[in-house]
Structure 1
Amino acid sequence: MQIVNHGVQKELMQNMRNVAYEFFKLPIKEKDKYAMLSNDIHGYGHAYVVSEDQTLDWTDTLFLLIYPNRFRKLQFWPRTPLEFKEITEAYSSEVKRVGDELLSSLSVIMGLEKHVLVGLHKEVLQGLRVNYYPPCNTPEEVLGLSPHSDSSTITLLMQDDDVPGLEIRHEGNWVPVTPIPNALVVNVGDVIEIWSNGKYKSVEHRAVTNKNKRRTSYATFLFPRDDVEVEPFDHMIDAQNLKMYQKVRYGDYLRQSLKRKMEGKAHTDVAKIKELVIEE
């Protein structure tokens, strides 16, 4: 879904776009000062690289863990432009407020008390991934971001208002998500799918490239701590809705998904209960 009237000021959203663009147009030597380490996801680089012969997506990425503050790795936060940190903190604080409201609403929708989903996280972690898609001369030959679902609980995405690129899979087809000015796109993530025993499915999506225009997207992920165990709620299971997912430790689930190339929702198989095959 896309949400409007969320209270995040238009000026702040535009400021976030501006500082991100200023960073991505820096020379590669400057951006590489914040390069991701091989065993980490913080910083600048290219996510989901699992082999040397892999065809890479047409995107540059900057990933920062925002909340809780103690988990930040400030050595990966760009110091150019100078106002990057201040604006990123202000934007992320506002998106956190919206995210908390959404989690409370989803908790009620799923038949729980308002506070339950937030409580099940122990504390909600929040990360920001800025995806920069340069113009591409052959957009039909490469994807900006391969098909995948988010490993998060929910994701809030700010798009550019005038450059489409996000597509979701619906009934076997790819459907473009036309940007609504100053709206936030909300994706259901894998954690909600598991908790709801598959009733609310994480959305498979991708990004396509553009021949003439650059595009940037700003994905805020809300997700549990590593040690949180996730499994379907009892009230989501009955004779007609058998338990589809086993209990998984979230940190293990997340790392399994990061170790593989994005291939739709194949990574969710690690949480699914395997059917028993009895041979006679």
Structure 2
Amino acid sequence: MSETLESTVFKPVQELAVDCNTPPERYIYTCSNEAIGVNPPVLDIPVIDLNSLQSSSPSADRELEKLRASVTSCGCFQLIGHGMTSSFLDQVSSIGRDFFALPVKEKLKCLRTAENTQGKLLQEYTEKINLLTEAVLKVLSRSLNLKESCFLDQYGENAYMVARFNYYPPSPRPDLTLGVKPHADGSAMTFLIQDKQVEGLQVLKDDQWFNVPNVPDALLVNIGDQVEIMSNGIYKSPVHRVVTNSERERITVAMFCSPNSSRYIEPAEELISKRRPRLYKKVNNYFDMCFEGYQHGKPAIEAAKM
């Protein structure tokens, strides 16, 4: 009995899912307030063309208004015109797909070391996302009639960027298990390469869960808590979760982009008025707040509120 329990507890999820007919109890989602719906509605997330936003054509204003409406209502958007080809995004995704296909002993050989922190392809992707973050922060500032560099000045240099390759195996009971429980990102922004074949991301909007559709070659951009703070709450960091399915694995790549922890962020002064008072404190080390909030079962953004 103890051997069975020990092997179950310490097995990686990927191995645990093999020939698993019933999810172990610790993986069963028991929050009664948030049942896992079978077929929730699809969220109509606008597709935003960065090339159009950065142009001087009449369509730029329309695209900017579409961006503002999207991040105000649901906190995310599908980004195209980002300068990365379909084949390049597929190569980035394949890093995770190839890794998760390896036996455990081979995976252990890939542990990060000080001399080998990331491969050249991932480094190239990180550099592209860094430039993309700057561009998106500028258009987000413009969409609120702020100086273009307003959010970028707070974001600063030497940003904290983390790539996470996510593997979600098939589940024998997708009505009982989640890939990731509900949460909001503590980043400034998160860029997600979705699985082209398998959906699973859901966003909470107006107290209802919605499926997020896959858009070919688009990056899904989530507004994080730190941009919510900079925008004085006009832009919301969406609560989201990942559901599983009984038939297919799902692999995604998330890049979390945040200011260096030593930098202070706060609501832009131009967004504070009698009609909309200051909602958030001036904070730094936001991920420490995230960890503390997690320990107490509270969203980190609550600790940043006035």
- TM-score range with shorter-chain normalisation? 0.7 to 0.9
Q: Distance in 2 between matches of 1:101 and 1:265?
A: 32
Residue by residue over 1:41-91, the C-alpha shift from the partner in whole angstroms, topping out at 9 and shown as x without a partner, is xx6xxxxxxxxxxxxxxxxxxxxxxxxxxxx955454xxxxxxx1221222
How is 1:80-159 mapped onto 2 (pairs within 5 angstroms)?
Answer: 85-123=119-157, 124-159=159-194
Opposite residue 215 of structure 2, the aligned amino acid is I
Taking structure 1 as reference, are residues 99 and 264 closer, same or farther at Cα in structure 2, changes over 3 Å only?
farther
Q: Which residue number corresponds to residue 101 of structure 2?
A: 25
Secondary structure at the aligned position of 1:22 is classed as: helix
Secondary structure at the aligned position of 2:222 is classed as: strand
2:305 to 255, 272, 280: 272
Verify: 1:7 aligned to 2:83, yes or no.
yes
Secondary structure at the aligned position of 2:131 is classed as: helix
Residue by residue over 1:71-119, the C-alpha shift from the partner in whole angstroms, topping out at 9 and shown as x without a partner, is x955454xxxxxxx12212222222232221111112123322223222
Q: Distance in 2 between matches of 1:13 and 1:91?
A: 9
Taking structure 1 as reference, are residues 262 and 8 closer, same or farther at Cα in structure 2, changes over 3 Å only?
farther
Secondary structure at the aligned position of 1:31 is classed as: helix
1:177 to 198, 212, 219: 212
Instruction: Pick the structure with more helix per residue.
Output: 2
Taking structure 1 as the reference length, the TM-score comes to 0.75
Q: Which residue number corresponds to residue 54 of structure 1?
A: none
Q: Distance in 2 between matches of 1:245 and 1:87?
A: 38
Q: Distance in 2 between matches of 1:215 and 1:237?
A: 42
Q: Distance in 1 between matches of 2:289 and 2:265?
A: 15
Asked whether the 8 Å contact 2:230–2:265 carries over to 1, the reply is yes
**Range that drifts further, 128-137 or 264-273:** 264-273
- Give 1 or 2 for the bigger CA radius of gyration: 2
Opposite residue 101 of structure 1, the aligned amino acid is A
2:221 to 186, 203, 208: 186
CA RMSD of aligned residues (A): 2.2
Question: C-alpha displacement at 1:11, in angstroms?
Answer: 0.8
Q: Distance in 2 between matches of 1:150 and 1:110?
A: 22
Question: C-alpha displacement at 1:193, in angstroms?
Answer: 0.8
Opposite residue 266 of structure 1, the aligned amino acid is P
Report percent identity of matched pairs.
32
Q: Distance in 2 between matches of 1:120 and 1:223?
A: 10
Instruction: Pick the structure with more strand per residue.
Output: 1
Question: C-alpha displacement at 1:262, in angstroms?
Answer: 9.0
Asked whether the 8 Å contact 1:197–1:243 carries over to 2, the reply is yes
How is 1:255-266 mapped onto 2 (pairs within 5 angstroms)?
Answer: 255-259=288-292, 261=294, 266=299
Q: Distance in 1 between matches of 2:124 and 2:297?
A: 33
Q: Distance in 2 between matches of 1:149 and 1:244?
A: 18
Gaps of 5+ in 2: 1-76
Asked whether the 8 Å contact 2:150–2:268 carries over to 1, the reply is no
Taking structure 1 as reference, are residues 138 and 263 closer, same or farther at Cα in structure 2, changes over 3 Å only?
farther
1:200 to 235, 238, 257: 235
Q: Distance in 2 between matches of 1:75 and 1:102?
A: 30
Q: Which residue number corresponds to residue 240 of structure 1?
A: 275
Taking structure 1 as reference, are residues 215 and 108 closer, same or farther at Cα in structure 2, changes over 3 Å only?
same
Gaps of 5+ in 1: 36-42, 44-71, 78-84, 274-280
Taking structure 2 as the reference length, the TM-score comes to 0.69
Q: Distance in 2 between matches of 1:14 and 1:126?
A: 20
Q: Distance in 2 between matches of 1:29 and 1:255?
A: 33
Q: How many residues align?
A: 229
